[in-house]
Structures are given as C-alpha cells and as structure tokens.
Chain A
C-alpha cells in the first residue's frame, strides 16, 4: 500500500524488512490492521461457503447432499468462524487502523503485543478449520457447546477448545492494547468527551472483552476437564449441573453480542454525519447509551435460557432487564435519524450501508423485543425466528456496517478511490438478497420450524426454497466486494487527503495513504 521509501516518511531510518518478513515481524498498527482485515475477509468467505452448503441442503425437504452428522458440523462451524474469525477480527482491524489515526497517536501503545495478538489468530484459525479433517469431523454440538452433547464428541472438540483459548488470549491482549492506547495516547486537547464516537465504542468494547473472555475460558476449561479428567461440573450424575454451563456461557455470550455490535455503532455514527454534512446529534447521549448497553449486557444473559425452566422470579428479572436494553438502543436510532434531519445528504456507498444498517438493525431490535417477552420467547426459542433475529443484528448490523466502514476508509488506507458504481451494485444486491434470505425465516420460526435441523416437515418447504435462493445471491454478491477491494488496493483514482467533504476526524488531515508513522508530532485539538 505504501513503501518505506515514501518521501513523506520521516522515519525511513528504521529499516523495516520488506516482503514476507515485513508482515510477520511488523509492529506497525497499519500493517497489523491490514493483516487483521485480510484474515477476517478470508474467514468471512470460508464461513460464508459453509453457509452456502447449509442453504443447499435446506433447499428442499429430505437429505440431498449431507448426512446429519456433517450438517451439524456445518452449522456449528459457520457460527463459530463467523463470530470469532470474521466479525471480531475485522473490528479489531478497524481499531488498529483507526484508533491511533483518530486520536492523533503515532501507533498503538504496545506494538509488539499487537503483532503477537494478530499472529495468534492464524494459528487458532488453522487449528479450528483443520478439525474438519480429524476422525469424527469438526464439532457438531452448536457454537454454544452445550454439555452433555459436547461431552460426546471426538478430538475436534478438544481442538476447538484450544483454538478458542488462543482466540481469547488474542482478544484480551488486543483489548488491553486498545484501552491503553486510548487512555494514554490521545493528542493534546482531545478530552474523553471530544473523542470520535468510534473510539468511544471501542474503549467500552475493550472493557467488555476483558470482562468476559476469561469467563468463556473458564467455562470451556471446565468442559475439557469434564471430558478428560473425571470432573463433573456439568454432569448431574456427579453432582454437577448441565444448565450451569449455559449460565457461564451466556454470561460471556451476551456481552459478546455487544462486542460485535458496539464498534459497528461507532462506524455508523462516523459515516452518517459525514454524508449528512451535519454533526452527530446528541453525542453525549450516544456515549451514555453505549455505556448503558454495555452495563445492561451483564445482567440479561439468562434470556437465552427461558426454555430451560427457570423459577418465576428469574424469568421476570431477565425479561425486564432485557426490555430495558430497548431504551438506550432506541436513543441511538433516534439520534441517527435526528442527525439526518435537515442535513445535506448524499448517497455514496458507505452512506447506503449505514442507512441500511439503521433500518435493518431496527428490525432486528424489534424482533429482539418480541423475543424478550418470556411467553412469546417460549414459542420462538430455538426456532428460525431466532435465526432471523440474530442475522438481522449480526449480518445487517455488524457485517454490513463493517462493509460500509471498509468503503468509507478504503480511500484513506490505500490512497485510491474504489469503484463507486460497483460499490452501489454490491450494496443493493447485498441488501435485497439479505432480506430475501432472512425475512422469510421469521415466518418459518413462527410456523414452528426448529433451528439446527438438516431436514424439515413439508409445510416449511416454500419459504426454505426462497431463503436458499436469496442466500446463494447473497453469497455470490460478496465476490463483487472482494473484487472491488482488490481493485482499490491495486490502483484507482487518487483519493486525496479528504475524499469525503463532510468528514472531520483527524485521519483526514493525513495523506492518503497515511505515512508509515503518522502523527509523529501530535496535533493540537481545540
């Protein structure tokens, strides 16, 4: 993307290695950010390919292509890889590139730790993916890994536990790095309440990561000892309780959902003001809303477990706390709409993605509210309604805002403009195909189709066929995205320092691409 010989680079004296070793030994936040993003893009396509296989099998009732054992591996690995391999690393990639640039810092606080955080990922990813090829195949008990089913599996289950441990270490180190960078390395004059919202969302997300990744690590270690060392944490025959695993898992799992959506909020809150040419409405309330969502995320976990049969008091408590999340989330949506109101709006590709995010994420929010109500949840738990819900928040929420963020900052990162027309085609195909795929799943769930089944009763056939067709289109459209990104990296119209006239954060004061070491002298923020 740029070379060490760049005349703008005042620090060419540090003799960075070139070629392969540049990437392996890099301690530069931009290089590492790029590595994170390419890694997540690869994982996105890999897990997306698994989704294509799932939709192929579900195209018609009956077993056409795969036996149930392999089908369960597909759904489990699709979920695990999308969450831990695609969404989370891509957001860390954004943090690596953008946090130092947006706060006027030269690099991350711990550059070597940063290198190690990234290079753990390919190791963990390889371990996870190679578990497809061990005896018995990959894990097939669902990404939630509930025992006792999880205890029954083969060696792949141990490989996945190890892989998750490595991913967890990487996340915790990344989070420590991000927090330290944000708290210590802001440009003079940039108080906390002057930070761009994207930086705020990542600060809070990093605290969530540090709080919950150890809980996941504990839970899966207990699984491991139950599997091999004769403990009975989750085995009633030895005095344990299988439901305790679910409590531990979701104490991690629910904040995890916000780990994947809060930085997406940050991206959208950056894009919308830029293309509305108007400052973000209610900055302070946005910060408080993010913080409240993060706090609430710790006291709602058991809403994933209403069907396990909690006591009445438990069900009511978790229903009420879950409903409360609608308030700060609503505030955010209202603020985005108010930012658009009386703006001077244009519709470049990043803006299209951000607008689709607001609209479709709201649908996911509403279905979340429906699911929060215990009686309705009892009907919908473990059905395709839930599948629809979490794809509305995770695909049209996280993934589409990530795509919007890529289009938004790609000119800054590469120095070239992407193909706007192709970007728009990619946007429309993605949005339309996404809705064809996932909207009918609401109806399937309401009508009574359970999730995680390789074959279904005949009354579900029509909507499944529609969803599969939409899914294939959705998968194919992402090839346009890949092509557009590669073309943009390789060349294109020069972007200039500030391709978006409404953009006002610090990174746009730098050249495009920014010098290898940016903000060597800290800017003064007034």
Chain B
C-alpha cells in the first residue's frame, strides 16, 4: 500500500518532509532516468543522425563558435530553469491544502524584487558579450580570397565566380519519382544537385547574394551561414572551411511551391583541385558556346529541350505539361503554345510580370530557349511541327538593346 509505505518510511518526520521524502525518490528516479536517456542519446547522436539533437558537426570556425555559444547559453538556461522550478516543485509537493498546509499571508517584498531584477540583468550582460564578438566577426566580410555571386531563382541557384568568368546553375537532381514514392528514396534525398558550388579549402570565401524573383535564403548549417537573398539588393556573407568534403543545406525562406526542393550543395576541395576544376570549367564553357551558324534538327532540339524543361519549367507546368489548375497554366493544348511562334518566344524570353513566370531571356542561353520552345511545341499532344533556331532568339536580344 502506498500510504502505509509512505508512513513507514518517514515516521516521525513533519508531514511536508515526509511527503518530500516519499516523492523525491520517485521524482529523482524519473528525472535521472530521463536525463540519462537524454545524455545517452546525445552521445550516440553522431552515430545515429536520425535522432540528431544538436547542430550538425561544424565545418567552419564561425559554425564552431555558434555551436559553442549555443551550448553555453543552453547550460545557463538549464541552471536558471533548475533554480526557478525546484522551489516551484517543492511548493507543489509540500504546500498543499490536502496536507493541511495553511497559506501564508505575505504578498510583497521589495528587496526580493530588486534582487531578481538585477541578477538576470547581469546574466544577460554575460550572454551578450560573447554574442557581440561573434556577430562582429560574422559581419566582417573583408580580406576575402575569392568572391562568388549567388543568385536565387525559383527554385535553383546560379553561381558566378567573379573575376573568373565561370558561371553555372545548380539544380536539384532528386527525381520526381522518388518524391511521389514510385521509387525508393536515395541517400541524399532532396539534398542533391547537378552542379555543386566548388570552393577551395582554407580560403575565405565571400558570397554576394541576390535573386531574380522572390526572396530566397542561402543556408549551409555546417558553415554557420544563412543569408537571405533580396531581389534588387546585394547582401554578403562569408565562410572558410578547412576540411574538404561535401556539405549540404537548402533554401530557408519560403519562396513558393518549390521551396522544399531547392538544395544547396557545396564541395570543398584542396586549392590545387580547385585550380584544375576552374580550368576545366572554362574549357567546358567555351565548348558550350552557342554556334549560331548551325541549323539544329527537331530531334536535337527536343532532346536538349527536355533537359531544359525538367530543370526550369517542370516545377510549375508539371512533367505532363498539365500545369496546376488555376495556379500555373497548362502547356499541353495551350493556346499560346499552339499559336504563333513569335508570341511563344516572347513569353519565354520576357516572362509575365506579376506572376511566377520569369524572363528566361536573361537566364538561359539562346540555344536552351530555342530548344525548350521547340520541345514544348512538339511534345505531349502538341504537334506544331515547327522548330525554333537560336538565331531567332538572338534577334530578340538585338531588339531589346
């Protein structure tokens, strides 16, 4: 019997002390079991990423400092928590009416009020000091080794290595079949891209960020960098990572239907590898330059166009070209697609202001635009039979200049 037990254990003690003695072991067992489980989970966290309880392992000095600051604050909060809630727990156990406890009459004490205003103030100053130092080093983007311009777009990232004339787009590579559950999900589900950002280890990398449509946010947790990209404005951030490897993150600001599918992947390589990677990129870019003298066939354009469509158009207009009713128009059977070629080109080139339809004239190569328009006009049940050549897009550039 609980009652008998409790009287036996604590015979001769005042009622409240007895109650505490009786309750405390139980409470202690529960609390310590909980804390032990938490501690074990924390220790096991690196081994079992599925139940990760803290920040990812920091890869940059900034991320490490943030990690340490967070742990410090957590312990301070934990200490305050214990100091505040142990008295509350004691009161709830001891000062019950059911124990015959009679309420005291006090309701004011200026001295106590002053003490518990001043002590928290001092604690806060103690917290603000390290935080201030860290903010100052985070904001210091000077003395960079290289600068990369990051442009967010619904829902991909453009990277441009300033001064090196290297630029490319980084798109998610998670297939729609994995998202719909038709295929098993891969190891890096939703956190994989076709062209990761490549940076050298041990160098201070400065990012300048903007976007061509809505607000996005470039975020790699292991670097301790999260910076919103604002249309029409430039923001900057920096990181320096010593250990080569692949680091993953994703867009952190709601940017429409593709927000959850806009990963950031950074590949940190040794400076030597970085140098050879740059050479390779320059050669690739030169090779990919549009050859305006060539006349492309329907099949060539459609094959290229399918890839461009998947990377740039599919999120809204859907794989089957049906769009999303009342939100994103269908291309399959669309009046515009089945109408005059020039109107179709105009829309893709200039976009539709006030909607999610971007002006791709500034974003894609003339060949890509020609290919994707040819693809759209001759796929699904659309069979216009006409092709668009890169020269037709180039003409539009001249007109807009």
Contact = CB atoms under 8 A, between A and B. Distances in A.
Given A69-B327, A151-B354, A378-B224, A373 B127 contact: yes
Given A72-B254, A346-B98, A375-B65, A279 B131 contact: no
Contacts of A68: 257-261
A363 B73 CA distance: 13
B327 A337 contact: no
A154 B224 CA distance: 36
A10 interface: no
Contacts of B225: 378
Interface string A271-312: 000001111111111000000000000000000000111001
Nearest to A374: B135
A148 to B, nearest CB: 5
Nearest to B216: A149
B91 A337 contact: yes
Interface in A344-389: 344-346, 355, 358-359, 362, 366, 369-370, 373-376, 378-379, 381-383
Contacts of B228: 307-309
B233 A327 contact: no
Interface stretch (A317-325, A410-418, A468-476): A317-325
Q: Report the contact-size class of chain B (Cβ under 8 Å from the partner).
A: 35 or more
Nearest to B260: A453
Interface stretch (A259-267, A426-434, A459-467): A459-467
Nearest to A243: B230
A285 B135 CA distance: 34
A505 interface: no
A455 B260 contact: yes
Interface stretch (B176-184, B285-293, B363-371): B176-184
Interface string B192-234: 0000000000000000000001110101010011111011110
Nearest to B52: A447
B113 A376 contact: no
Interface stretch (B114-122, B142-150, B161-169, B336-344): B114-122
Nearest to A239: B232
Interface residues of A, number: 95
A257 B327 CA distance: 32
B226 A280 contact: no
A448 interface: yes
Contacts of B191: 457
B97 A154 contact: no
Contact of B88 (A69, A323, A337, A379): A337
Given A343-B91, A346-B96, A309 B235 contact: yes
Contacts of B88: 337, 340, 358-359
A319 to B, nearest CB: 7
Nearest to A339: B107
B121 A369 contact: no
A237 B359 CA distance: 14
7 contacts: A136-B327, A282-B109, A307-B217, A340-B88, A345-B96, A370-B73, A447-B53
